[in-house]
Amino acid sequence: MTITANWSYPTAIKFGAGRIKELADHCKAVGMKKPLLVTDRGLSTMAITQNALDILEAAGLGRAMFAEVDPNPTDRNLEAGVKAFKAGGHDGVVAFGGGSGLDLGKAVAFMAGQTRPVWDFEDIGDWWTRANSDGIAPIVAVPTTAGTGSEVGRASVITNSETHTKKVIFHPKFLPSVTICDPELTVGMPKVITAGTGMDAFAHCLEAYSSPFYHPMSQGIALEGMRLVKEYLPRAYKEGTDIEARANMMSAAAMGAVAFQKGLGAIHSLSHPVGAIYNTHHGMTNAVVMPPVLAFNRPAIEAKIASAAAYLGIAGGFDGFFDYVLRLREEVGVPDKLSALGVGTDRIDEMAAMAIVDPTAGGNPVELTLDAAKRLFIECI
């Protein structure tokens, strides 16, 4: 058998409490003179964001911010962001925030140099080669949640506001030049966001680990990522100022995202339509649908999950792992059903049709048919 694959783990990560103070230096090092800090509305007035702007300003880089960014950011947010970038004469983006701020910031830096519409760069085949890669502005990423791992990813998830679908926009240069992982920035997350984002990191590791593709590097990273979540998410949830727990969750988040180069699966395929239609939190949605998807995939992953359980110190093979996931959810306050997040049963057919064509569906170890997706939605809601 000939084994071939394309792997990529190139982000420069500056990891450590307090390292946000290096922000201006890293911006300058990648050639920025007038960066635009892109974040979401909620973060725009918070002290961590104002402090980042202070650091830029003190270094002579101005204090420009674009914050018209929704959770589950849209093409409209993107258009407005590109406009602000051009109008302000900016030369780089500080993508600052959770997945929403990071994804939109990365997309602004990318689209600032393009003439074609954003949907032409969806993550399909080699569509990314359509881009004018010289026009892409440099990106410095600063995560303030520990979940999506967008800070080390080569894609952004943008919601199409007309069709209410989440699309993955991909280009290798979406990859930030530098990422600052400062766990102190995540201390102020509300409990529900700590839980949801932490479960997103776990979902990335679990789905990457379970996907059938050949990627042993990601396989190892996914396994250790799950271990970090197991050890540190309950601690970070209970005691938000536990910097050691926050730091390890930040690692787990970045690891989940490099691991999911190996593929994601039906947890994300179900979660994406729910998020796009009901605007639920991405990670929390993943956490709710996780057990039914695990059970659905059992025939294909039973032995693999038993190995993971052994590594994680969980007795009882697949069943033990399944029970552990239920306990973890309970421990961090994840509801059992999607109805608790405001999801109704009236759009199941539509969501199932969206789930099976979601780009993540191809990585699920058991084929996600329309019928299976409907049954899973009924169970999850």
Ligand X SMILES: NC(=O)c1ccc[n+]([C@@H]2O[C@H](COP(=O)([O-])OP(=O)(O)OC[C@H]3O[C@@H](n4cnc5c(N)ncnc54)[C@H](O)[C@@H]3O)[C@@H](O)[C@H]2O)c1
Contacting positions for ligand X (CB under 6 A)? 40, 42-43, 71-73, 97-101, 103, 144-145, 147-148, 150, 153, 155-157, 185-186, 188-189, 193, 196-197, 200, 257, 282-283
Of the ranges 111-119, 135-143, 199-207, 246-254, which one interacts with Fe ion (CB under 5 A)?
A: 199-207
In the complex with Fe ion, which residue's Cβ is closer, 98 or 183? Answer: 98
Shortest distance, position 302 Cβ to ligand X, whole Å: 27
Smallest distance, Å, CB 237 to ligand X? 14
Q: Closer CB to ligand X, residue 175 or residue 301?
A: 175
Residue pointed to by tokens 């590109």:
82
Q: How far is the CB of 316 from ligand X (least distance, A)?
A: 30
Q: Rounded to 5, what percent of the chain is helix, strand, coil? A: 60, 10, 30
Output 96 or 321, the one with its CB closest to ligand X: 96
Would you give the distance in Å from CA 140 to the centre of its chain? 16
Binding residue for Fe ion, selected from 200, 262, 272, 289, defined by CB under 5 A: 200
CB of 77 to ligand X, least distance (A): 10
Residue closest to ligand X, measured at CB: 99
Residue 197 binding: pick among Fe ion, ligand X, none (C-beta 5-8 Å cut-off by kind): ligand X
Task: Note whether 325 and 301 are within 8 A (CB).
Answer: no
Q: Does 151 bind Fe ion (CB under 5 A)?
A: no
Query: Which among 208, 166, 218, 226 is positioned nearest to 365, based on CA atoms?
Result: 208
In the complex with Fe ion, which residue's Cβ is closer, 75 or 200? 200
Give which of ligand X, Fe ion, none residue 42 binds (C-beta under 5 to 8 Å, depending on kind).
ligand X
Least CB distance from residue 323 to ligand X, whole Å? 26
Closest to ligand X by CB, 185 vs 245, is 185
Instruction: Identify residue 314 by its one-letter amino acid code.
Output: I
Do the beta carbons of residue 255 and residue 224 sit within 8 Å? yes
In three-state form (DSSP H/G/I as H, E/B as E, the rest C), the secondary structure along 216-255 is: HHHHHHHHHHHHHHHHHHHHHHHCCCCHHHHHHHHHHHHH
Per-residue b or e along 129-141, where b marks 16 or more CB atoms closer than 10 Å to that residue's CB? eebeeeebbbbbb
Stretch touching Fe ion by CB under 5 A, among 61-69, 78-86, 88-96, 192-200? 192-200
Q: What DSSP assignment string belongs to 6-40? A: ------EEEESTTGGGGHHHHHHHTT-SSEEEE--
Quote the least distance from Cβ 284 to Fe ion, whole Å: 11
CA distance 224 to 56: 35
Report if residue 358 touches Fe ion, rule: CB under 5 A: no
Burial string for 147-156 (b: 16+ CB within 10 Å, else e) reads bbbbbbbbbb
Terminus-to-terminus CA distance in the chain, angstroms? 44
- From 131-139, 163-171, 200-208, 332-340, span contacting Fe ion (CB under 5 A): 200-208
297 binds, among ligand X, Fe ion, none (CB under 5 to 8 A by kind): none
Q: Cα dihedral angle (3, 154, 305, 280), rounded to 10 degrees?
A: -150
Taking the complex as a whole, the smallest distance from the CB of residue 73 to ligand X amounts, in Å, to: 6
What minimum distance in Å lies between the beta carbon of 69 and ligand X? 8
Binding at 183: pick from ligand X, Fe ion, none (beta carbon under 5-8 Å per type)? none
Half-sphere exposure of 83 (CA within 13 A, CB side): 8
Residues that bind Fe ion (CB under 5 A): 200
